Amino acid sequence: MEFALPAFFLVLTTIYLAQTFAIRGQSGAFWQGPRAMPIAASVLMYALLLVVLVRQVRQDTTPDQPGEILRPLLVMLATGAYIFLFQPLGYGLSTVLFVSALFVIFEFRTAQPAAFALYALIVTATFYILYAVIFGVRLPQLFGVI
C-alpha cells in the first residue's frame, strides 16, 4: 500500500507529460516556449517520486498510522476543487483559494494571518507573472477583471 500513492502520481505525471507535447508554441527555442515549464515540472516530479520510492524501500516496515494518508488526500481534493473552480472563479480568486488550502493542509503560517495572506498573494502573483506575462497564456478572469 505504501507504493500506491507514488504509483498514482507516477501515472498522473506521465499523463501530464504526454499532454504537454500537444502544446504548440510559436517560438523555436525550447525554453521560451509554452512547453518548457510543464516539461520541467514533470522531470522534477519524476525525480521527487524516485526519491520517495527509494526512501520507502530503505525504510523498515512499520505499521501505517491511520492519519498518514489524510494529507495527500486533502491535496488531491484541493487540486480537484481548483480545477473545477478555475474557469468560473477566474485565475486570481481560484488560485488564492487553492494556495490558501495548501497552506492550511501543510500548516504554513496558519498562526500568522497577515503573513499567511501575504504569502498566498505572492505565490498567486508569481505564477500570474510567469504564465500571463512571460508565457502569454490567457488566464480566465472573474467578471472580466480579476
At residue 20, the pLDDT reads 76
CB atoms within 10 A of CB 87: 10
At residue 122, the pLDDT reads 92
Distance CA 106, CA 74 (A): 10
Measured at the CA of 20, the angle between CA 140 and CA 11, to 5 degrees, comes to 110
Pairwise pLDDT comparison (84 vs 5), residue with the higher score: 84
| CA distances, 31 to each of 39, 94, 103, 114 (Å) | 10, 27, 30, 36
Place of cell 478555475: 86
| Phi-psi label, residue 109: left if phi above 0, alpha if psi -120 to 50, beta otherwise | left
pLDDT in tens, 66-119: 556 777 788 888 888 888 888 888 888 998 999 899 889 888 888 999 999 999
